[in-house]
Structure 1
Amino acid sequence: MMKIRLPLILLLNALGLALFFSWYLPENHGFWFALDAGIFHFFNEELVKSHTFLVLVAITNNRVFDGISLLAMGTLFAGFWWREPPAGRRRLIIMGIVMLLSAVVINQLGHLIPVSHVSPTLYFTDIHRVSELLHFPTKDASKDSFPGDHGLMLLIFTGFMLRYFGQKAFFIAVLIFLIFALPRIMIGAHWFTDVFVGSLSIALVGLPWVLLTPLSDGLINVLNRTLPGKNKTSS
């Protein structure tokens, strides 16, 4: 079972807090706003320069594409599940349950942050909306885009991959995170900082207390002993 790695936990927490307050404390968010605005306007102009890019952005922000992100995470997870004997498979399924519980709790705690703002497509005027350029169901706006829920869930998955499956799985998970988090920024449904400040800072503060302490292993062991079914293991 994982021992409490307090120095590393505190370091990651400090990085997360420093990241968040570097955005939260300066007036109008300091240099972050200029970065946010620049990224948004760059991609927003590309929408009318390239029809191919417009269609790509619309498709990657359709609800079906969200399902593909789940499929990508499930495929990576299943690759390890298939290699396990029955007892190991049961344990991995329970680990998945713990991961989902952790994601729900961390996400809810993240929404306690007293920050709320609309997406850039609702903040700026005289801009292009994908939903107005194409007759295609897609998400291009949000009335409360901070923090990025989708990005946070992907980051939590990435953390679990590193903790339980090693660096190779971690790098694949990072790639999945980028592929499925960036379209929200490209379409303007999220600011860059919704994900790379909001989601990331929450993950850096909350996730280490789950993965770098006995908490996640302990929950897996408890559920493994108490949930009905075959192939239970003692640890």
Structure 2
Amino acid sequence: MRANQLITILVLNALGLALFFSWYLPENHGAWFTLDKNLFYWFNERLATNKALLWLVAITNFRPFDAVSLLAMGALYYSFWRRETPQGRRRLLAIGIAMLLTAVVLNQLGHLIPVSHPSPTKYFPDVHHVTTLTGIPTKDASSDSFPGDHGMMLMIFASFMLRYFGVRAFLIAVGIVLIFATPRIMIGAHWFTDVAVGSLSVVLVGTSWWLITPGSDWLVNILYRALPGKYKPAN
């Protein structure tokens, strides 16, 4: 590992830790709580009066809608897949599996953080629940919303796009993160900081040690050689 890579890792770790502790250390989370509360009530109050917003939030937080985010990520991945040789596609499959394994491990590690709190729809009394307003069984509450799982998975995808497919793919992936993580905040299933602090801090620390070091390439190469198929390398 080169010196500039180590510096990049340390900077990303410092940013992630600073972000987390700026939220974790102040009493009642300081200014972060004010921002969280204001954002939650801004959306929650409008859910009862703005039918277009209500149904947008309901549809985008209906469980089967999660498949749309998978399709969006899959479409971006497929744009690289279709241009590859059979050997290149085998490598893309290895990268995809490595990405999934990374997401599972980081998600588990993220939940080891000594923080547990309910979503704002469970924390504040007398609030509007989208499921009640529409009759659609939406993801509008959580007993433990920190860090945001959904946002973390999307951010890990974006990190892999940057590492293996370049800045343009990363920027598209960031758009996917914003489009599909925001509805969880709008409906009140997550605080803003569950995603902007919790998910992001875990990803900044975790993926930097994995993607900037040879770690991810090591796993991808193992999978490339081990996966069955017509183009499996001889050695």
Q: After TM superposition, is the score higher than 0.5? A: yes
Aligned equivalents of 2:233 and 2:84: distance in 1? 13
Aligned equivalents of 2:26 and 2:222: distance in 1? 45
Q: Offset of 1:234 from its aligned partner?
A: 8.5
Q: Deviations over 1:71-112 (max 9, x none)?
A: 100010011000000000010011000000011111111111
Aligned equivalents of 1:228 and 1:132: distance in 2? 49
Q: Which residue of 2 aligns with 1:177?
A: 177
Q: Which residue of 2 aligns with 1:227?
A: 227
Cα distance change on mapping 1:3 and 1:86 into 2, 3 Å: farther
Letter in 1 for 2:187: I
Q: Deviations over 1:178-228 (max 9, x none)?
A: 000000000000000000000000000100111101011111111111222
Aligned equivalents of 1:55 and 1:61: distance in 2? 10
Q: How does 1:112-191 map to 2 (within 5 A)?
A: 112-191=112-191
Q: How does 1:66-105 map to 2 (within 5 A)?
A: 66-105=66-105
Contact in 1 for aligned 2:117/2:146 (Cα 8 Å):
yes
Q: Which residue of 1 aligns with 2:45?
A: 45
| Other structure's SS at 2:146 match | coil
Q: Offset of 1:126 from its aligned partner?
A: 1.7
Q: Which residue of 2 aligns with 1:20?
A: 20
Contact in 2 for aligned 1:139/1:189 (Cα 8 Å):
yes
Letter in 2 for 1:176: I
- Which segment drifts farther, 35-44 or 62-71? 62-71
Aligned equivalents of 2:71 and 2:99: distance in 1? 16
CA RMSD of aligned residues (A): 1.4
TM-score by length of 2: 0.97
Higher relative contact order (CA 8 A, sep 6+): 1
Aligned equivalents of 1:129 and 1:83: distance in 2? 45
Q: How many residues matched? A: 234
Aligned equivalents of 1:110 and 1:79: distance in 2? 31
- Which segment drifts farther, 218-227 or 101-110? 218-227
Letter in 1 for 2:149: D
Any gaps of 5 or more consecutive residues in structure 2?
A: none
